Structure 1
Amino acid sequence: MLISEIGENGLIQQINSWLTELDHDSDFSSLPLFVGLGDDAAAWESSSQMTLLTTDTLVEDVHFNFETMNWYSLGWKSLAVNMSDIAAMGGDPQYATVSLALPGDINVEDVHSFYRGAIDLSRKYGGKIVGGDVVKSQLVVITVSMIGITNKQLLLMSSANEGDVICVTGSLGGSAAGLKLLLSETASNDNKELVILHQQPNPRIADAKIIKQNGIKCVTDLSDGLFVDLLRVIQSSGVGAVIYSDSVPVNHLAKKYFPDDAQEMALNGGEDYELLFCGPVDLVNETLKKLSPDSAIIGKIVNGSGVKLVDSFGIPVELLNFGWDHFQ
């Protein structure tokens, strides 16, 4: 069986199964791990708090290329994707390691720009780079691991319950629209906001705290696309979901520049790094009052499995694609 036949989610599920089986009898199986495989970050308990650990890798010509990304933005984004995972668990970023695999002909000033971007993000949201590694490679590969902390009230993607409503913290599709502008070489000062959404996303750390304070427990970040990330939520929670296509908030500039594609970008474009959260409607309504005006209820959790997209009349809507998968 080939990796391309089972896709990214299938491979992750298989690896999780292997690790659970192989690690069951190890000397470290009794460590105080509160959340392990399958969520946005691992979590373990100390005397007064939870420690979070997450990691992400960005590969040249897979996740980015230098036609659409400069070194400063690459540094910013490399840390931002990890901070978004920490935010999705309800935490604050603390420490990060940055490992770089680089060709020998990269200019040192470019690497300097990378770290300027990373440090500017850290100054805005917290956290500190404390180490890493550098090796030679044919392509640029960046791996960031990040530790965060939170109190013992964790936000988990596996906490969705039948009857919950599904929400997002802001409009979607802006990052995909920004990427399309860059690829088509039509980026300009008039649409710079979309480019920034793609190159320099902002992790929703403050929004996650508002969500947590209002008693909601099910959260994940939208990195691979609404449908793909929601599928992970319902699979880990053992439920199904219905999404109302007309309720999904679509970035207004994405609609302006790509009126025919904007909704598809919002549903499956990915890399918006908004938070998706699920909870009882009364708690959600109170939460939405404190979030961005673009935050919205977009669906509901139901008995069953899978994600169904319907229009305002309840008629199923067919999608052209299903978000980001590394292997498909």
Structure 2
Amino acid sequence: MDKEKLIIKAFLNELNGDDGAVIKNWCLSKDLFFENVHFKREWLSLEQIASKAMLVNISDAIVMNAVPRYALLGLALPKNLNENQIKDLQRGFLKTAKKFGIKIIGGDTISNEKIDISITLLSKIRKKAIYRKGLKIGHLLAFTGELGQSLKGLELLQKGGSLEAKHRFIKPKLRKDFFYKIANKVVCAMDISDGLSKDLSRLLELNQLGISWFKTLDFYELYSGEEYEILFAFEKKDKEFIEKMAQKYKLKLNIFGQAVKGKYEFRGKEHHF
């Protein structure tokens, strides 16, 4: 058992273990975004740091079929940040919150040696929540978009290069319009934050199933983390509808496998600890 599983196991209950906790018609979620863990200051502007911190949290709400409404911010910031730098951070939070209709309603701030951000999101469930559990034999497995660019971007940054402001590593693309449209056909879903292979292993382990692959995916498609595309499953009878919706929203849809009896083993590098 890895240490992440050890921590989660102590708090397991009927509300825990998904991208968010569903309480009545609300979804509550939290993500951390820490300097020297998720980013380096020389890689992103302060506005980009705050914006990405919001986006990675919003991603969790979307895959639960929930619409973000309120946010609580936990900010640990260096004392040497000046007023203009703090305003840059504020701008990133506020612009992204406004884009998704989110109101920031409070939180906490402390001084720290680096920038550490914790965001709690309160989101309204649309009709019914979508969980990671629900996969059955015969269901088709798919992911949105193209995977691999986040890891390639990270590698470039680690070599001293730079990325355009619209690069996926800096500004994840969230697929809310497409996903909300197909949500009533989706049997289970999660966002791809730790790489397709790792997140697929979580989904299959939870549902005690394996996979029959339709195509061979390369290293970057399997192991690129922080993509924030959507991994989801659906019944064969809904394939045509989902494909039409992908075309409508000009989105690449990758139907890469089918759930079968068996087990899937993750063989990559752990992103946690």
Per the normalisation by structure 2, the TM-score is 0.91
Partner of 1:17: 9
Identity %: 27
**CA distance in 1: counterparts of 2:68 and 2:129, whole angstroms:** 14
Residue deviations 1:108-133 (CA, integer Å, cap 9, x gap)? 32221122112222222221111111
Is the aligned partner of 1:37 residue 2:21? Answer: no
Mapping 1:73-112, distance limit 5 Å = 73-112=48-87
For 2:212, give the aligned amino acid: V
Deviation (angstroms), 1:297: 0.3
Partner of 1:325: 271
**CA distance in 1: counterparts of 2:34 and 2:209, whole angstroms:** 33
CA contact (8 A) 1:216 1:284 kept: no
Partner of 1:230: 200
Partner of 2:221: 266
Partner of 1:318: none
For 2:181, give the aligned amino acid: I
Relative to 1, partners in 2 of residues 1:325 and 1:66: Cα closer, same or farther, differing over 3 Å?
same
Per the normalisation by structure 1, the TM-score is 0.77
CA contact (8 A) 1:226 1:323 kept: no
Residue deviations 1:184-217 (CA, integer Å, cap 9, x gap)? 23336xxx37x6211111322212212213x222
CA contact (8 A) 1:218 1:277 kept: yes
**CA distance in 1: counterparts of 2:26 and 2:244, whole angstroms:** 30
Partner of 1:29: none
CA contact (8 A) 2:67 2:126 kept: no
Residue deviations 1:251-281 (CA, integer Å, cap 9, x gap)? xxxxxxxxxxxx3222111111111111112
- 3-state DSSP of counterpart to 2:245: coil
Partner of 1:304: 262
For 2:21, give the aligned amino acid: A
**CA distance in 2: counterparts of 1:242 and 1:67, whole angstroms:** 42
For 2:240, give the aligned amino acid: N
Equivalenced residues, count: 270
Is the aligned partner of 1:70 residue 2:45? Answer: yes
CA contact (8 A) 2:43 2:162 kept: no
Relative to 1, partners in 2 of residues 1:170 and 1:307: Cα closer, same or farther, differing over 3 Å?
farther
CA contact (8 A) 1:173 1:269 kept: yes
Partner of 1:117: 92
Relative to 1, partners in 2 of residues 1:13 and 1:324: Cα closer, same or farther, differing over 3 Å?
closer
Is the aligned partner of 1:140 residue 2:110? Answer: no
Deviation (angstroms), 1:156: 0.9
CA contact (8 A) 1:227 1:323 kept: no
Relative to 1, partners in 2 of residues 1:287 and 1:110: Cα closer, same or farther, differing over 3 Å?
same
Aligned Cα RMSD in Å? 2.0
Mean Cα displacement is larger for which, 101-110 or 223-232?
A: 101-110
Deviation (angstroms), 1:164: 0.9
Which residue of the other structure, out of 173, 176, 179, is the alignment partner of 1:202?
173
Is the aligned partner of 1:276 residue 2:231? Answer: yes
Unaligned regions of 5+ residues in structure 2, if any? none
CA contact (8 A) 1:268 1:324 kept: no
**CA distance in 1: counterparts of 2:269 and 2:169, whole angstroms:** 16
- 3-state DSSP of counterpart to 2:186: coil
The higher radius of gyration belongs to: 1
Partner of 1:221: 191
**CA distance in 2: counterparts of 1:297 and 1:281, whole angstroms:** 11
Deviation (angstroms), 1:90: 0.5
Residue deviations 1:210-266 (CA, integer Å, cap 9, x gap)? 2213x22211100110011111111111211234453x5xxxxxxxxxxxxxx3222
- 3-state DSSP of counterpart to 1:236: helix
Deviation (angstroms), 1:323: 5.2
Which residue of the other structure, out of 232, 240, 252, is the alignment partner of 1:294?
252
**CA distance in 1: counterparts of 2:45 and 2:29, whole angstroms:** 24
